[in-house]
Amino acid sequence: MTSVDVLSIEGEKAGTVELPAHLFDAKVSDYALYRAVVAFEANKRQGNASTKTRAEVNRSGRKHHRQKGSGMARRGTVTAPLLRGGGVAFGPKPRSYHTTLTKPLKRLAFSSALSLKERGKNVRVLDDFEFQEPSTKSFAGVISACGLEAGRILFITPQSVPVLVKSSRNITGVTLRPAATVCTYDVVSADLVVLTRKAVDVLAEVHRRTAGEESQG
């Protein structure tokens, strides 16, 4: 396990915590990361692109001009793809881009992403904190006091905390995710990953339980 310092919201050292090795010191798989990111992006696509074929366009079916004597090439209906306003040949139709990954591959991708962040010294752990009421200023103060100004920041909390969600949503580059729902794409797209002390335990337990269910299955 890797030991890291725990910071208070004032930026002072408040102890140390052991990061679980199966998440933060795992073998990195570029293939798993690639598959996870591509799947996430693909699943966001709506697949609404649609064109009309020559059978669907609302135009006359008459012959464009007579067969002979015009000096032009032979032409059938005005719905032909070659003509302006005609149908589209082999155009897109609504489709689903949804793709799935196996559970072992998801776990491998997630541990690879966290391990890369840890090896790059881009993981921080804060003492558990919460505000009495939503306050963007207070949340920004925590970021400043702990020296977390690093572009895109991913905060991982033990569970969804509405007060913290409201406090952070107006801060550019800050994303808040509960430990049970954070995904590989969240980690990969962040410059800095920040966890609370309890979030480390919840994250380890969630993925340990998932691994146990897979082995039993």
Quick one: pLDDT at residue 56?
93
Quick one: pLDDT at residue 214?
56
**216 band by pLDDT with thresholds 50, 70 and 90:** low
Whether residue 150 is predicted with pLDDT greater than 70 in this model: the reply is yes
**211 band by pLDDT with thresholds 50, 70 and 90:** low
For the chain, the domains span 2-43+100-216, 46-96
For the ranges 58-67, 105-114, 129-138, the maximum mean pLDDT occurs at 105-114
Q: Give residue 25's identity as a one-letter amino acid code.
A: D
Report which secondary-structure segment, H or E, holds 158: none
Q: Is 3 exposed, middle or buried (0-12, 13-18, 19+ CB in 10 A)?
A: exposed
Dist. CA 195–CA 79, nearest whole Å: 60
Q: Which CATH architecture has domain 2-43+100-216?
A: 3-Layer(aba) Sandwich (3.40)
Quick one: pLDDT at residue 24?
93
Q: Left (φ > 0), alpha (ψ -120 to 50) or beta: where does 165 sit?
A: alpha
Half-sphere exposure of 164 (CA within 13 A, CB side): 19
Choose between 183 and 209: higher pLDDT: 183
Whether residue 215 is predicted with pLDDT greater than 70 in this model: the reply is no
Whether residue 32 is predicted with pLDDT greater than 60 in this model: the reply is yes
Quick one: pLDDT at residue 63?
86
Query: Per the confidence metrics, is the pTM higher than 0.85?
Result: no
**208 band by pLDDT with thresholds 50, 70 and 90:** confident
Quick one: pLDDT at residue 213?
57
Least confident of 2-6, 92-96, 123-127, 207-211: 207-211
**Residue 169 tokens, joined:** 């949503």
Query: What pLDDT, in 10s, does the model give residues 133-148?
Result: 999 999 999 999 998 8
